[in-house]
Amino acid sequence: MSYYYSMKMKKYIQDFEVLRNERLSKDYYLLKLWCEEELPVIMPAQFAELKINDSPSTFLRRPISIHDVNYEKNTITLLIRIAGDGTAKLSEIRQGMILNMIYPLGNSFSLPLKDKVLLVGGGCGVAPMLYTARYFMQFGFDPTLLLGYRDKESVLRRGKFEKYGNVFYTTEDGSFGEKGNVLNHSLFSPEVFNFTKIYACGPEAMLKNLGKWAIEHGVDCEVSLENLMACGVGACLCCVQNTNEGHKCVCTEGPVFNVKDLIW
């Protein structure tokens, strides 16, 4: 498969100190973590496996995307949506507590070959898109972001996202940006659409529709998937995604796949 799968980056098990836990909205929290040691290079769409402390009902680690990185300050930021007990515990974590992570995991979005690229995030899927936009920008690209939310109250980190690209919004109820889901946005109307590549993360249904659209319109499209994981390092074979080449591990051969390769 494509070149970006072959990258072998060293993985670390490290303790991070929680610098800040900020509630962004009803279900979303922003965790800022600091590590004593220098951070390794992290690629866009890579993730970490977090150990959940003090949770009687959470036995395995939980995969969470890298939302942002600050190499000068040795900090990593995570965007957490409460989905169940494990993420609920993460939302309760307080400053000064220690969080153990295995990272950086997975492959990454490939660097665009030419401008203009569209980054699409839906709901919790906006998480990896901030660092992706920032990363692409460093390489001279000027990404456009399209972020889909339920409603105005759910919109996350506007100021931050808007620093790294031109940002458009959809909300299901139309209370912010255009009404509908991301594919309903006018960016996708034939007269307007002028991107060479789409990068996306979000709910499976959104990614499938987007992938179908991209293939039909001959647009290159990479998606970051969120399968259930046990190990995160390619050992258990639990996280597989069916592809043209058979079952692939989302944790090591993903989370990023080109939609052309997926059998959905």
Ligand X SMILES: Cc1cc2nc3c(=O)[nH]c(=O)nc-3n(C[C@H](O)[C@H](O)[C@H](O)COP(=O)(O)O)c2cc1C
Query: At its nearest, how many Å lie between ligand FAD and the CB of residue 193?
Result: 27
> What Cα–Cα distance (Å) separates residue 200 from each residue in 33, 35, 39, 41, 128?
25, 29, 26, 22, 9
Q: Which of 197, 186, 177 is nearest to 111 (CA)?
A: 197
The nearer residue to ligand X, 66 or 239, going by C-beta atoms, is 239
Interaction between residue 213 and other proteins (CB under 8 A): no
Interface residue with ligand FES among 214, 229, 259, 262 (CB under 6 A) is: 229
Computed from CA positions of residues 85, 87, 90, 91, in that sequence, does the dihedral angle turn out positive or negative? negative
Interaction between residue 226 and ligand FAD (CB under 6 A): yes
- Helix extents (H) in the chain: 85-92, 127-138, 158-163, 204-216
Which positions from 111 through 140 interact with ligand FAD, judged by CB under 6 A?
A: 124, 127
| Rounded CA separation 221/155 (Å) | 24
Interaction between residue 147 and ligand FAD (CB under 6 A): no
Helix (H, G, I), strand (E, B) or coil at 115: coil
The nearer residue to ligand FAD, 127 or 155, going by C-beta atoms, is 127
Q: Which of 161, 107, 164, 169 is nearest to 141 (CA)?
A: 164
Interaction between residue 97 and ligand X (CB under 6 A): no
Interaction between residue 175 and its own copies (CB under 8 A): no
Interaction between residue 51 and other proteins (CB under 8 A): yes
Instruction: Report which residue type is found at 245.
Output: E
Helix (H, G, I), strand (E, B) or coil at 245: coil
Which positions from 28 through 67 interact with its own copies, judged by CB under 8 A?
A: 54-56, 58-59
Interaction between residue 96 and its own copies (CB under 8 A): no
Question: Which residues sit at the interface with ligand FAD, rule CB under 6 A?
Answer: 47, 58, 62-65, 79-81, 83-87, 124, 127, 226-229, 255
